Amino acid sequence: MKKPYILIVEDEAAIAELVAINLRHSGFECEVAVDSAQAQSMVFERLPDLVLLDWMLPTMSGFSLAKQWRSQIETKLLPIIMLTARAEEADKVAGLDVGIDDYMTKPFSTKELLARVRAVLRRRAPDVVVSGSTLTVGVISLDSVAHRVTAEGKDVKLAPTEFKLLNALLQQGDKVLKRETLQNMVWGHYSDIDERTVDVHIKRLREALTAVSPAASAQVETIRGMGYRLSKSAL
Ligand code: CA
């Protein structure tokens, strides 16, 4: 089995070394980058399975780097665990807003770090396949540049709102999206649409998918009392 490859971005050599030794000992392959520029070039050389990213780095912060990665198609779904000396709630919220997968506040135990790494890898494993500007989950593919959606290889005609909804669901891997989050992602933070409007458009999205592929439609799951999720296969 291929060893998961983890990139450690940390300017404090002692911490980086300690983490690297523990990861290698636990069956991971890992490399260390000492700043954002080096991390950026290493990531484009070879995409890691997960990045441990220190918040406080010289020149460009880990937070800015994470934001940059989330805005690029190749790294949009890169699993990131932020290492931070700051425990302030506001920082965590800011990090979660840019899509950080998890946090470790320094000092942390390597045992806990390993547990979190495994948990994120398990959670993120479900298979969002990225190829150029196309994201694929299960039988559904969406090309954000060509604005094209296919299910089982057949074209799906979607109105702009349904396209944005599907895109938002695809971006999240298999995480559950709350109606409120979907509302913000699709209609913007300052929209005052009713949350039931989200349900209406989900219904239209399912109908459009069903017309081409019932299996694709079944991937759009309703999670009672929470929201929606795109599963990788119809269960
Ligand atoms: Ca640091």
Could you read off the pLDDT of 142-158 as tens digits, one per residue?
A: 999 999 999 999 999 99
**What mean pLDDT do residues 145-174 have?**
92
Query: How close is the Cα of 38 to the center of ligand 1, in Å?
Result: 14
Query: For the domain that residue 187 is a member of, what is the CATH number?
Result: 1.10.10.10
Which one of 92, 124, 156 terminates a domain? 124
Residue 88 and residue 154 in one domain = no
Per mean pLDDT, which of 72-76, 159-163, 184-188, 212-216 is the most reliable?
159-163
Which one of 87, 104, 124 terminates a domain? 124
**What mean pLDDT do residues 76-105 have?**
79
Residue 48 and residue 63 in one domain = yes
Query: How close is the Cα of 85 to the center of ligand 1, in Å?
Result: 8
Domain region containing 11: 5-124
Share of the chain above pLDDT 90, in %: 50
Evaluate the CA torsion angle 175, 74, 217, 124 in order and state its sign: negative
Note whether residue 73 is domain-resident.
yes
Query: How close is the Cα of 120 to the center of ligand 1, in Å?
Result: 22
Predicted pLDDT of residue 235: 42
**What mean pLDDT do residues 101-114 have?**
89
Predicted pLDDT of residue 204: 97
**CA dist list (Å): 212 to 58, 120, 154, 163, 215:** 51, 33, 7, 15, 9
Query: How close is the Cα of 34 to the center of ligand 1, in Å?
Result: 9
Share the mean pLDDT of the chain. 87
| Residue 84, pLDDT above cutoff 80 | yes
Assigned token pair, 98: 């840019």
**What mean pLDDT do residues 24-53 have?**
94
Predicted pLDDT of residue 163: 97
Query: How close is the Cα of 76 to the center of ligand 1, in Å?
Result: 23
Query: How close is the Cα of 175 to the center of ligand 1, in Å?
Result: 30
Predicted pLDDT of residue 233: 63
The three state secondary structure string of the chain is CCCCEEEEECCCHHHHHHHHHHHHHCCCEEEEECCHHHHHHHHHHCCCCEEEEECCCCCCCHHHHHHHHHCCCCCCCCCEEEEECCCCHHHHHHHHHCCCCEEEECCCCHHHHHHHHHHHHHHHCCCCEEECCEEEECCEEEECCCCEEEECCEEECCCHHHHHHHHHHHHCCCCCEEHHHHHHHHHCCCCCCCHHHHHHHHHHHHHHHHHHCHHHHHHEEEECCCEEEECCCCC
Residue 119 and residue 137 in one domain = no
Query: Could you give the number of structural domains in the chain?
Result: 2
Residues in the chain: 235
Query: How close is the Cα of 10 to the center of ligand 1, in Å?
Result: 6
8 Å CB contact between 134 and 142:
yes
Query: How close is the Cα of 124 to the center of ligand 1, in Å?
Result: 26
Query: How close is the Cα of 9 to the center of ligand 1, in Å?
Result: 9
Query: How close is the Cα of 37 to the center of ligand 1, in Å?
Result: 14
Which one of 76, 91, 124 terminates a domain? 124
Query: How close is the Cα of 163 to the center of ligand 1, in Å?
Result: 40
Predicted pLDDT of residue 101: 87
Query: How close is the Cα of 140 to the center of ligand 1, in Å?
Result: 40
